[in-house]
Amino acid sequence: MRVLVLGGTGEARRLAAALAGRPELRVVSSLAGRVADPRLPEGEVRIGGFGGPEGLAAWLREERVAAVVDATHPFAHRMTDSAVRATGEVGLPLLVLRRPGWQPEPGDDWRWAETISDAAGLLPGLGERVFLSTGRQDLAAFADLREQWFLARCVDPPEPPLPPRLEVVLDRGPFAVDGELALLRRHRIDVMVTKDSGGEMTAAKLVAARELGLPVVVVRRPPLPDGPHVESVGTVEGAVAWLDALAAAHAG
């Protein structure tokens, strides 16, 4: 049974590792190719886009794929939308693997925003030295803010438009609390902006903000897709169980 796993997330890599070597499954992992030096999963890997939902549907037919697992980032809504439309057109089951979002704890000062633009609109009055931990593709939303100074952490260098007062740190998680505390103190950060990505790799910044008493603007994640052929799980183990059931039905 041929399976397509979408995404370069930690969950996608762990899923590929868990499925490696299984004779009943042939798994190909697909990465978008937006990161210059991605961490590759085990097994067969495809890098690059499909050309929208129509291109993905054509690829699924040509490769005779039996099931798709969308393990992309919780904010990769365009890829998820394409996966929903393409699998619906071809008539394939789709599993969305999404790690749970973060939850505020006692001492947290979180301000929820529906979109990245809403997050930018909340900054005036919250602080003047901002730590942006939203990813390089979202920096344009802050380009018109001239009163704030920004520190942005990205894996790869961002492209314009960018905030006029910006310093960029190139780094990749996982991050530790001590390092995050040192970063925030060194740059005298007084407010943080992040997305509700969930997971442990970048959660240390939230602990550091709590310890320093900083307000955090948190962008809500897009809702999970809906459809008669779409299911969702929150763990790699759940995805493996879903595929095991499909493989058993496929073999029978």
The domain 109-219: what is its CATH number?
Answer: 3.40.50
Cα–Cα distance, 95 to 91 (Å, whole number): 13
Q: Strands, E, within 116-222: which ranges? A: 129-133, 149-154, 166-170, 191-195, 215-219
Alpha helix positions (H), 123-188 = 177-186
Instruction: Give me 208's structure tokens.
Output: 């550091």
State pTM to two decimals: 0.92
pLDDT (average), residues 189-199:
97
The fold of 2-100+222-251 is: Rossmann fold (3.40.50)
Q: Which residue has the tokens 């099931």?
A: 67
DSSP 142: G
Cβ-count burial 28-39 (b if 16+ within 10 Å, e if not): bbbbbeeeeeee
pLDDT (average), residues 152-173:
95
Better-predicted residue by pLDDT, 251 or 213: 213
The per-residue pLDDT for range 86-120, each reduced to its tens digit, is 999 999 999 999 999 999 999 999 999 999 999 99
Instruction: Please determine, for residue 233, whether its predicted confidence score (pLDDT) is greater than 70.
Output: yes
The pLDDT confidence band at residue 32, using thresholds 50, 70 and 90, is confident
Q: What is the pLDDT of residue 79?
A: 94
Domain extents in the chain = 2-100+222-251, 109-219
The per-residue pLDDT for range 215-229, each reduced to its tens digit, is 999 999 999 998 899
Cα–Cα distance, 34 to 30 (Å, whole number): 12
pLDDT (average), residues 57-66:
98
Q: Same fold for the domain at 2-100+222-251 and the one at 109-219?
A: yes
**CA distances (Å), 228 to each of 92, 94, 153, 232, 240, in order?**
11, 10, 39, 12, 20
**CA distances (Å), 192 to each of 128, 154, 207, in order?**
10, 15, 12
